Amino acid sequence: MTHRFQLSRRSLLRGTGVALALPWLDVMSNCSAAGRREGKPPMRMAFFYVPNGVNMDTWRPSEAGSLDELPTTLKSLEPLKKHILVLSDLEAEHCDGPIAAHEPAGGGYLVGKKCKHSEEPEVGGASIDQIVAREIGHETAIDSLAMGIDPGHRGDHGYSGTYMSHISWRNKTTPTALELNPKQLYERLFHGKAPKRPDWNANDAPSESTEPSDSVEASVLDLVREDTKSLQRKLGFNDRRKLDQYLEGLRSIEKRVEMASRDGYSHHQDAFSKDPLADADENEVSELIIPNGKGIPAEYASHVNLMLDIMTLAFQTDSTRVATFMFSYEKSGRAYPEINAKGSHHSTSHHKKQQENLEQLTRINTHHMELFARMLQRMSEISEGDSTLLDNVLICYGAGLSDGNKHNNDNLPIVLAGGGCGTVQGGRHIVYGEKTPICNLYVEMASRMGMSMESFGDSKGPLSELAGS
């Protein structure tokens, strides 16, 4: 009697104390470890945040309905249009503050309630990503990831600066720890090793050991090499190809992390060489905290791409199903000389309808979108059975402010990417009408993650029309 080789969804590659999660393979689609039929690949959810609002004239499509010609800022999404929804007229009244705009916009964005006007951070409760992570986080090695690129600075007008650098909150007073360093994030995800108590009597001199190093130089792939070879001999052609692509991507990330780890130089040293708020109101005071450059690439785009590649791997291996990402902190004064946007981002967003400022702001907005589109393209190339990783994610890209000059919280710039495991019909621009809470979208996304949620924040129910007609 011939027995067909099968793998459970929880199967791992193992070697020398290290366990490496596997991507979705066809051989996993038939049964689980307990012999039960398994469903399709799981849904993953993420929220991407851009600071300081956008130039809405180059963001919003001219008409509702089919996404035909995309506006300037969204042009990079052209090859991915069928996986994209542009959602207009969503508002975040909870991001409006009495005497400040940026702090409440960041801190309240995913919470759905107003932040406390206090230098000690206190938001309205756990953010939507963390509520979902509590429900499903036990199914993965890591319940959620909160990622960013730049550190924050001290808040103004009596608000905590923590609001601007964290959109993910575990509870009212505790933001989710923000991952800024690709090396540390990579090792957290892929260099798992059983903890052991330190030997306080050990000699400081290096000694020969067969124990695997937890540094990037000790490649995960080298440590699981024998298990990998054994598995590959049992797989069919399609699964061998998928596994090879996955391992190749992992090796590429290892090399890039290693290169960044050797160099103490960081792009932060150039981006904030000028006072981020030098051109802003004289009452606004900035105190920037620059992280150690070790492990952080020398270019902003390389940093973003590496972080997003690691996040993609985390989704691909089902290491986590929930993530947030910040392109920079709210009120960011980062400069982008590499794209001819040399002024402070925050100051530029106060464009006063001056053409030079609007053009520079569009370049920044477009740059962020291009980096996002690159990640989506990579997801579209990762096969998961009869679908792709992009088919099985739901990613909200947006901001708590619309026009940085007006500091308004209505008509937010929102893109929803991914197929939602077949529950979302892309390729459209949906215009909802005035005063539709963005929390309606959060409720809808949570429901697609398997949660039964009637309301969240100031929501008035789920968001309609995502599935199409």
Distance in angstroms (rounded) separating the CA atoms of residues 67 and 162 = 37
User: What string of pLDDT tens digits covers the 469 residues of the chain?
Assistant: 445 666 766 666 666 556 666 777 777 765 433 333 355 789 999 999 999 999 999 999 999 999 999 999 999 999 999 999 999 999 999 999 888 899 999 999 999 999 999 999 999 999 999 999 999 998 888 899 999 999 887 788 889 999 999 999 999 999 999 999 988 888 888 765 333 333 324 444 433 444 444 444 456 677 677 777 777 777 777 777 777 777 777 777 777 777 777 777 788 877 776 554 454 444 444 455 566 667 888 899 999 999 999 999 899 888 899 999 999 999 999 999 999 999 999 999 999 999 999 999 999 999 999 999 999 999 999 988 889 999 999 999 999 999 999 999 999 999 999 999 999 999 999 999 878 999 999 999 999 999 988 889 999 888 989 998 6
- Give the pLDDT of residue 338: 95
- Give the pLDDT of residue 469: 66
- Give the pLDDT of residue 268: 80
For residue 404, count other CB atoms closer than 10 A to its CB. Answer: 27
Distance in angstroms (rounded) separating the CA atoms of residues 23 and 245 = 10
- Give the pLDDT of residue 408: 94
Q: Which residues contact 453 (CB under 8 A, 6 or more apart)?
A: 131, 443, 446, 447
Among candidates 115, 132, 222, which has minimal Cα distance to 173?
Answer: 115
> What residue ranges in 78-215 does DSSP mark as E strands?
84-91, 145-148
Report residue 341: phi and psi, to 5°: -130, 80
Dmax over CA atoms of the chain, in Å, equals 81
Domain 44-180+322-336+346-448, classified CATH 3.40.720, yes or no? yes
Classify residue 466 as left (phi > 0), alpha (psi -120 to 50) or beta. alpha
What residues does each domain of the chain span?
A: 44-180+322-336+346-448
- Give the pLDDT of residue 209: 40
Distance in angstroms (rounded) separating the CA atoms of residues 333 and 336 = 10
| Cα four-point dihedral sign 141, 142, 143, 144 | negative
- Give the pLDDT of residue 67: 95
Rounded to 10 degrees, what is the CA torsion of 45, 421, 314, 176?
10
Residue 221, SS3? helix
Residue 146, SS3? strand
- Give the pLDDT of residue 15: 67
